[in-house]
């Protein structure tokens, strides 16, 4: 009898654990703050903020799911020299795809993933000074980047995430919500 109860509990725990992993049909939304950037500017940097969404689209052979999603992030710089103020603003909008590894069955609240993003960097420069020499040196452009990340769910819906890669910052960390 004890063996049957133990087996039933183990199956229930395994089922509940599997239900928390990123699967086909799962949607997650991330809200993060970034550290470090490859985007240029002088002076004081405004904190980088980003929002991303991933939706599980395809189960693939082996333990994993492919997701598609979107990304938007913003950061900027402000520099004051004498009576003039110079500003740089960067907004990146992109589409992304990722592979979510589901092989860590003994750590069901962990979602480890890696992927690529095709993004467009909207770069703007402004100055209230009479020196317009920098105005055309910060052009917008298309870019292809990669990222690695992980999520830890504290409950069925809420957790924390961190991503290393290129967006508006090199490292993004924040909260995640699972639909």
Alpha carbon separation from 119 to 44, 69, 141, 143 (Å, rounded): 25, 12, 8, 5
Average pLDDT over residues 58-72: 92
pTM, full prediction: 0.81
Q: What is the pLDDT of residues 39-64, one digit of tens each?
A: 766 667 788 999 999 999 999 877 89
Residue 7 clears pLDDT 50, i.e. is over it: no
Helices of type H across the chain? 2-20
Find the CATH number of the domain harbouring 72: 2.40.160.20
Alpha carbon separation from 167 to 3, 18, 113, 130, 157 (Å, rounded): 52, 31, 16, 32, 25
Residue closest to 48 by CA, chosen among 171, 179, 178, 143: 171
Look at residue 132 in the predicted model and tell me its pLDDT.
60
Q: Where are the beta strands (DSSP E) in 82-109?
A: 84-101
Look at residue 135 in the predicted model and tell me its pLDDT.
58
HSE at residue 140, side-chain half, CA atoms within 13 A, is 11
**Using CA atoms, how far apart are residues 32 and 176, in angstroms rounded to an integer?**
9
Task: Tell me phi and psi for residue 132, to 5 degrees.
Answer: -100, 15
Query: Which residues touch 45 (CB under 8 Å, ≥6 apart)?
Result: 37, 75, 76, 77
Residue 9 clears pLDDT 50, i.e. is over it: no
Look at residue 17 in the predicted model and tell me its pLDDT.
42
pLDDT band at 95; cut points 50, 70, 90: very high
Q: What is the pLDDT of residues 115-163, one digit of tens each?
A: 999 999 998 888 886 666 655 556 789 999 999 999 999 999 999 999 9
Look at residue 35 in the predicted model and tell me its pLDDT.
85
Please check whether residue 29 is in contact with residue 50, taking contact to mean a CB–CB distance below 8 angstroms.
no
| Weakest-pLDDT range from 9-13, 24-28, 70-74, 88-92 | 9-13
Token pair 């992927």 is at which residue?
Answer: 115
Look at residue 140 in the predicted model and tell me its pLDDT.
85
Output the average pLDDT for the chain: 83
Domain tally for the chain? 1
- Expressed as residue numbers, the domain containing 60 is 2-178
């Amino acid at each position: 009898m004890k063996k049957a109860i133990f087996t039933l509990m183990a199956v229930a725990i395994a089922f509940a654990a599997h239900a928390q992993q990123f699967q086909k049909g799962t949607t997650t939304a991330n809200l993060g703050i970034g550290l470090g950037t490859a985007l240029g500017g002088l002076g004081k940097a405004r904190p980088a903020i980003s929002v991303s969404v991933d939706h599980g689209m395809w189960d693939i052979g082996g333990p994993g799911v492919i997701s598609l999603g979107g990304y938007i992030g913003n950061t900027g710089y402000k520099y004051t020299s004498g009576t003039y103020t110079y500003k740089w603003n960067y907004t990146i909008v992109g589409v992304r795809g990722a592979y979510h590894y589901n092989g860590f069955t003994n750590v069901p609240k962990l979602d480890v993933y890696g992927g690529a993003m095709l993004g467009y960097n909207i770069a703007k420069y402004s100055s209230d000074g009479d020196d317009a020499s920098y105005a055309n040196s910060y052009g917008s452009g298309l870019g292809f980047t990669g990222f690695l990340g992980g999520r830890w769910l504290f409950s069925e819906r809420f957790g924390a995430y961190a991503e290393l890669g290129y967006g508006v910052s090199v490292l993004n960390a924040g909260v995640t919500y699972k639909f």
